[in-house]
């Protein structure tokens, strides 16, 4: 936006003030996220910049907090870093275990939410769908209902949701449930909880993609002799895929960042990164938290870039050109 030539001096002053205000708000948005990156290289156990850091003295910086991430819960921190050391890190380090749990829970929750959500979105965006508004409101509600309420409800229910021992159900689901055969304190419980929380995001992104979908393409495919399955996989799927993938990424991030449900329904075997961070912030706050935070910022930048590229691709495919 440029100032119109008829702008008065007062308007010119206001215009530049406005730009300054906007810049300050952008700094407010982004600075807290960027500030954790240099802080995580602190050589001292402080949460702020030391004098050495401010003078860019290399002695003020170190990778010790990243090292802590590998060695916490792993006894041999001073031994040689050979293959055995690394495999011990992989098997025992607290943060690595948390990362593994977060990844697997996130992956399965995403698959569940994306599959169910995409199929439902296909139904929801058909004009014939009955009770569309009500069903949509129900499916979006996990995003609106406070997480604490969901967590309380789930912790009551999942403690009761058990399979009878020595039944066929216990043979099928047993390995995914807790020792007592319940959803509480089990991986399946956390996955299910995170899938519910991710569903609204999948529904929103996929229905948004489908709203720009030209229904006549389906009729065109049919008229050219394609059966419903071919039509879906060759015509519909490629067009809605960007929406599905960004919905899946949203669902994954939701799970990857979720802590309240984990606090209430997970056991010691389901420690995730956010839970580890939550405990870390509550108890002994150490810059190791900042090191994790930095890694998470890098992941979120990567995910955001992917989603943006997908969105642009989807807009290009649908013929909506940026103006």
Cα 98 versus chain centre, distance: 15
CB of 234 to another protein, least distance (A): 19
Per the listing, tokens 């604490």 go with 148
Q: Do residues 189 and 181 touch, judged by C-beta distance below 8 A?
A: no
Q: How many residues bind another protein (CB under 8 A)?
A: 97
Nearest to 193 by CA among 106, 261, 242: 261
147 exposed, middle or buried (CB, 10 Å; 0-12, 13-18, 19+)? middle
Based on CB atoms, which residue is closest to another protein, 81 or 219?
219
Stretch touching another protein by CB under 8 A, among 4-12, 78-86, 103-111, 234-242:
4-12
CB of 319 to another protein, least distance (A): 16
Angle between helices 132-144 and 187-211 (to 10 degrees): 130
> Using the rule CB under 8 A, which residue among 120, 163, 206, 262 binds another protein?
120
Based on CB atoms, which residue is closest to another protein, 33 or 107?
33
Q: Do residues 270 and 187 touch, judged by C-beta distance below 8 A?
A: yes
Based on CB atoms, which residue is closest to another protein, 87 or 215?
215
Based on CB atoms, which residue is closest to another protein, 217 or 298?
298
Residue 144 binding another protein, by CB under 8 A: yes
Residue 316 binding another protein, by CB under 8 A: no
Per the listing, tokens 């050589």 go with 43
Per the listing, tokens 């948004």 go with 208
Q: Give 210-216's long-range contacts (Cβ < 8 A, gap of 24+).
A: 210/121, 210/122, 210/125, 210/240, 210/243, 211/125, 212/318, 212/320, 213/125, 213/239, 213/240, 213/318
Based on CB atoms, which residue is closest to another protein, 135 or 317?
135
Residue 123 binding another protein, by CB under 8 A: yes
> Using the rule CB under 8 A, which residue among 190, 259, 262, 266 binds another protein?
259
Which structure tokens are listed for 23?
A: 């810049």
> Using the rule CB under 8 A, which residue among 122, 236, 245, 317 binds another protein?
122
Rounded to whole angstroms, the Cα distance separating 305 from 309 reads 6
Among positions 280-309, residues that touch another protein (CB under 8 A) are 281-282, 285, 289-290, 293, 296-297, 300-301, 303-304, 307-308
Residue 236 binding another protein, by CB under 8 A: no
Residue 147 binding another protein, by CB under 8 A: yes
CB of 73 to another protein, least distance (A): 19
Among positions 61-80, residues that touch another protein (CB under 8 A) are none
Among positions 148-187, residues that touch another protein (CB under 8 A) are 148-150, 152-158, 160
Nearest to 277 by CA among 267, 268, 269, 288: 288
> Using the rule CB under 8 A, which residue among 79, 87, 141, 230 binds another protein?
141
Rounded to whole angstroms, the Cα distance separating 134 from 85 reads 56
Rounded to whole angstroms, the Cα distance separating 222 from 224 reads 5
Rounded to whole angstroms, the Cα distance separating 183 from 180 reads 9
Based on CB atoms, which residue is closest to another protein, 64 or 132?
132
Based on CB atoms, which residue is closest to another protein, 84 or 302?
302
What character string, x for contact with another protein (CB under 8 A) and - otherwise, covers 25-54? xx-xxx-xx-xx--x------xxxx-----
């Amino acid at each position: 936006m440029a100032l119109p030539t008829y702008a008065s001096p007062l308007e010119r002053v206001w215009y530049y003030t406005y730009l300054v205000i906007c810049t300050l708000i952008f700094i407010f948005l982004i600075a807290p996220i960027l500030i954790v990156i240099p802080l995580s290289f602190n050589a001292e156990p402080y949460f702020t910049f030391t004098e050495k850091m401010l003078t860019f003295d290399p002695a003020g910086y170190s990778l010790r907090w990243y090292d802590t991430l590998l060695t916490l819960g792993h006894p041999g921190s001073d031994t040689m870093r050979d293959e055995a050391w690394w495999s011990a890190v992989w098997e025992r380090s607290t943060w690595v275990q948390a990362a593994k749990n977060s990844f697997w829970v996130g992956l399965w929750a995403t698959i569940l939410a994306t599959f169910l959500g995409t199929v439902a979105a296909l139904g929801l965006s058909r004009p014939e769908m009955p009770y569309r508004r009500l069903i949509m409101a129900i499916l979006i509600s996990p995003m609106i209902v406070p997480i604490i309420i969901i967590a309380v409800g789930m912790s009551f229910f999942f403690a009761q949701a058990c399979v009878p021992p020595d039944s066929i159900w216990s043979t099928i689901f047993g390995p995914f449930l807790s020792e007592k055969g319940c959803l509480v304190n089990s991986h399946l419980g956390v996955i299910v909880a995170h899938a519910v929380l991710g569903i609204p995001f999948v529904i929103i992104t996929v229905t948004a993609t489908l709203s720009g979908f030209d229904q006549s393409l389906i009729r065109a495919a049919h008229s050219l002799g394609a059966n419903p399955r071919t039509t879906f996989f060759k015509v519909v799927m490629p067009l809605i895929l960007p929406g599905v993938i960004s919905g899946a990424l949203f669902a994954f991030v939701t799970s990857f960042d979720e802590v309240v449900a984990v606090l209430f329904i997970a056991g010691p075997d389901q420690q995730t990164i956010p839970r580890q961070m939550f405990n870390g912030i509550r108890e002994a706050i150490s810059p190791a938290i900042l090191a994790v935070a930095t890694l998470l910022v890098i992941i979120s930048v990567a995910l955001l870039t992917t989603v943006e590229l997908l969105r642009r691709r989807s807009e290009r495919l649908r013929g909506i050109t940026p103006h």
